[in-house]
Structure 1
Amino acid sequence: MLNVFEVAQTVVSHIQKHYAEDVALIAYYGSYAQGTATSRSDLDFFFIPATERGYQASIQFVIDDISFDFWPISWERAERMAKFEEQNTTIIADCNLLYVRSEEDRERFLKLREWIAELPQQQGLTFIEKAEAQLRDVYVHLYKMSRLAEGDFAACRTEAHGVLNKTVYSLALLNRTYMTRGWGKNREQLRQFAVRPVRLEQLAETILSAGSIKEIREACERLTEDMVTLLTEQRPAHKGAPSFPDRAKGFYEEIKGIFDKIITACEKNDYMLASYWAIGVQDEAAAFLYYFECGLWPDRLEIGAAYQSFYHEAGLPDLIPLLNPRDLVPLHDAVVRLDQLLERHLQERGVRMNRFEGVAQFEGFLEARVRA
């Protein structure tokens, strides 16, 4: 039986001889690191290059029918993994080091592991947002499944695989952790998650085993719906108290430019431009008001626009019913009113506006700010 660590030591010796200053460290992960390797298991190992020349050390090979992939991970990518910005956090968290160029490299690597341990304790809302981003990607697969030709079973399986993969990653993030093992070996970890869809295993089995496109697509849709519900339920725990002065600084000064754009379009009778920006600016203003009130951004996976409640409670005009290509005057007047009302609404909540009467006053403000 092939001793994979003898092969690994051969690679390490080669690096020490020919790339001593070009490779920061070498490590292995996966089944051998977790103690679950079989006689057919390959050795998953990687290295972090210290120079551009170091990337040349990458090699893929097979010895005695066992495959080896000695692949590079840049420090930047390793940092993304440690920050849960890529799926393979386990590669950094659970690997064993085979070679380290210097103590400085070792300390830098151990710092990544500190991030992995500390971030879930410090950034609960961030993990919900990361989970949400992964789940948004699921909709791409669902859309593609909806457009498949009748009988294109292989493509359906492929898209369903994408749904399942991103859903599991999203679920791990929702539980502020990462998957330690690949599919098939991760069931116990999934069962231990405090937050998980009740039908997860049932739907996963249908997605992988069903014999019709319709069954697979419906299971993918139900799993996605269950995940959206979980995310929506988790968000309220992270809501904060209203805080306008710090969160809204500079907001009005920026959005006013869009108001002026719409007003000008209305005056020029340019309905396409006016309607496009009117729809967008109301949504943007509503989203920001939600953030100012709650300290978190609206749930973009939630159907409808419930987050616009703060916009309407502030008495701000609803622009969308006023969209009329034959008469832009009502829209024009509503945007003028929105400009005035929004500024007043923010000022009443302690937001200071940077408004100046001419360049001289602005110059004075800049000088005073430097001296402050």
Structure 2
Amino acid sequence: MLDVFKVADGFIRHIKQAYADDIAIAAYYGSYAQGTATKRSDLDLFFIPATDRGYQASLQFIIDDVGFDFWPISWERAERMASFQEPTTTIISDCKLLYVRSDADLARFMKLREMTSAMQAEGQEQLMIQKAESELEKVYSHMYRMTRDSAAESLTVIRIEAHSVLTKALQSLALLNGTFYTKGFGRNTEQICRLPLKPDRLLGLMSTIMKSDSNAEMMQACEELVSAAGQLILEQKARYNTTPAYETRMKGFYEELKAVLNKIIAACEANDYDTAYFAAIHVQEEIAHFIAYAETGQWQSSLVSTSIIQQVYIRSGLPELIACLNPDDLAPLQRATEQLSYRLEQLLKTKGVAINRFSGIEQFESYLKNKEEHSM
């Protein structure tokens, strides 16, 4: 059996002789670092270059049919890994150091590990939920590719997309639980099973996605997994909802929106449906999101269905602009926009939002002067 550490020792000697000033850190990770290696295991090696020349030390080779990949990670990427921005946090957190150029390099590396620990500490739950949310949102491009023409797609294509959905959903669940996988997919089932927050049917859905030879079954399992993971994220996110605060969260919103409302009215008067179309949908969607933010203190993500967001708008009693879109008659849209402009201002005022509305330039200049005096 090949002694992989003799290979590593030889490579480290090469670094010391040829790249002593160009490589900051060299380390290994994976099965040998975790004590789970087999006779077929390779030694996973990486290094952090200290100079541009250091990147030249990268080398891929095979000895006794065992593959080795000595690959570079920049300090910037190492930081992304340590801060859960990439699903390879374990590489930084659990690796074993083989070479350190200086005490300063070691201190910098240990700060990366401290960063990982800090992000898992109490008080960072919201940040990790946000990361879980962002990770799960990545599945939608794969879901689209699966559903676009699933009947015509081969089993291979669907399995590739389903694999991407599965790995991203599992990574999202790890983040939701404030942790990272210490083993690669396929070897981390035990850790997945230990996650406190996970869908009830997670293992069954994983089995279907991984083993089914039916496109329809895989797609259905992916949809159920994404839906269940998304619901878990939203439930955890809701724990951090705050009390409504219109007066601070909606400050300046109406004044900024007024220009777009006027644009819709002008487009209707000019019979310019294209401009009215884009502006009207933007306005109604924007108002719905801001009202939801004013009431909960959190921005709604793509995990929340459009219908739920629009229910927030409808409950506010504001006229629907989108329903009034008609290329043959813009008069209803103009009336609805005029009503919206008035009702939204009144709604915000009743919620304690101060609206900066001036009757003319003199009043505006007086306001500026008064503001200036109070800032001194």
Question: Normalization by structure 2: what TM-score?
Answer: 0.89
CA displacement at 1:367 relative to structure 2: 8.9
Runs of 4+ more than 6 Å apart: none
SS at match of 1:37: coil
For the pair 1:81 / 2:85, whether they are aligned, the reply is no
**1:134 corresponds to:** 135
Cα distance change on mapping 1:94 and 1:355 into 2, 3 Å: farther
For residues 41-89 of structure 1, give each alpha carbon's deviation from its aligned partner in whole angstroms, at most 9, with x where no partner exists: 1111211122222222211111221111111111221222222111111
Distance 2:307 2:102 in 1: 54
* Offset at residue 261 of structure 1 (A): 2.6
The C-alpha deviation readout for 1:193-236, integer Å capped at 9, x for no partner, is 11111111112112111122222222222222222232233222
Q: CA deviation at 1:358?
A: 4.8
* Separation in structure 2 between the aligned mates of residue 32 and residue 362 of structure 1, nearest angstrom: 73
Per-residue CA shift, 1:211-264, capped at 9, x if unaligned? 222222222222222222322332221211223344334433433332233222
The AA in structure 2 aligned to 1:333 is R
Contact 1:244/1:349 (<8 A) preserved:
yes
SS in 2 for 1:98: strand
Q: Contact between 2:82 and 2:93, CA under 8 Å: does it hold in 1?
A: yes
Residue 215, structure 1, aligned to residue 217, structure 2? yes
Contact 1:232 1:299 in 2 (8 A): no
The answer (yes or no) to whether the contact 1:148–1:155 under 8 Å persists in 2 is no
Could you say if the C-alpha distance between residues 363 and 228 of structure 1 is closer, same or farther in structure 2, counting changes exceeding 3 Å? Answer: same
Partner Cα separation in structure 2 for residue 287 and residue 62 of structure 1: 55
**1:115-167 Cα shifts (integer Å, max 9, x gaps):** 21122333323322322222222222222222145461111211111111111
Comparing 28-37 with 324-333, greater Cα deviation is found at 324-333
**Structure 1, unpaired ranges of 5+:** none
Tell me, in whole angstroms, the C-alpha distance in 2 between the residues paired with 1:358 and 1:49.
61
Across the aligned residues of Structure 1 and Structure 2, the Cα RMSD in angstroms comes to 2.6
Partner residue, 1:171: 173
Amino acid across the alignment from 1:116: T
1:281 corresponds in structure 2 to 283
**Aligned match of 1:54:** 54
Residues 1:112 and 1:259: Cα distance change in structure 2 (over 3 Å): farther
AA aligned to 1:361 is E
**Is the CA contact (8 Å cut-off) linking 2:44 and 2:69 kept in structure 1?**
yes
Contact 2:150 2:215 in 1 (8 A): no
Taking a change above 3 Å as real, the CA distance of residues 361 and 45 of structure 1, as seen in their structure-2 partners, is farther
Equivalent residue number for residue 293 of structure 1? 295
Distance change >3 Å, CA 85–CA 355, structure 1 → 2: farther
Name 1:7's counterpart in structure 2: 7
**2:201 aligns with one of 199, 202, 210:** 199
Count of residue pairs the alignment pairs up: 372
1:268 equivalent among 263, 267, 270: 270
State the Cα distance separating 1:366 from its structure 2 match.
Answer: 11
The amino acid of 1:57's aligned partner reads: A
- Superposed displacement of residue 288, structure 1: 1.4
Partner of 1:315: 317
TM superposition shift of 1:348:
4.5
Give, in whole Å, the separation in 1 of the partners of 2:225 and 2:330: 44
1:310 CA displacement: 4.0
What is the CA–CA distance in structure 2 between the aligned matches of 1:310 and 1:370, rounded to whole Å?
A: 38
Percent identity between the aligned chains?
49
User: 1:339: how far off?
Assistant: 3.1
CA contact (8 A) 2:244 2:296 kept: yes
CA distance in 2, matches of 1:208, 1:189: 18
Q: Secondary structure at the match of 2:139?
A: helix
Work out the CA distance in 1 between the residues paired with 2:193 and 2:14. 43
Determine if the alignment matches structure 1 residue 18 to structure 2 residue 18.
yes
Q: Which residue of 2 aligns with 1:338?
A: 340
Matches within 5 A, 1:58-69: 58-69=58-69
What's the TM-score once normalised by structure 1's chain length?
Answer: 0.90
Per-residue deviation, residues 1-58 of structure 1 (Å, max 9, x unmatched)? 2222222222222222322332221121111111101111111121112222222221
Question: Residue 21 of structure 2 aligns to a residue in which SS?
Answer: coil
Structure 1 residues 30 and 237 mapped into 2: Cα distance closer, same or farther (>3 Å)?
Answer: same
The SS at the match of 1:306 is helix
> How far apart, in 2, do the equivalents of 1:132 and 1:167 lie?
10
Shift of residue 341 of structure 1?
A: 3.5
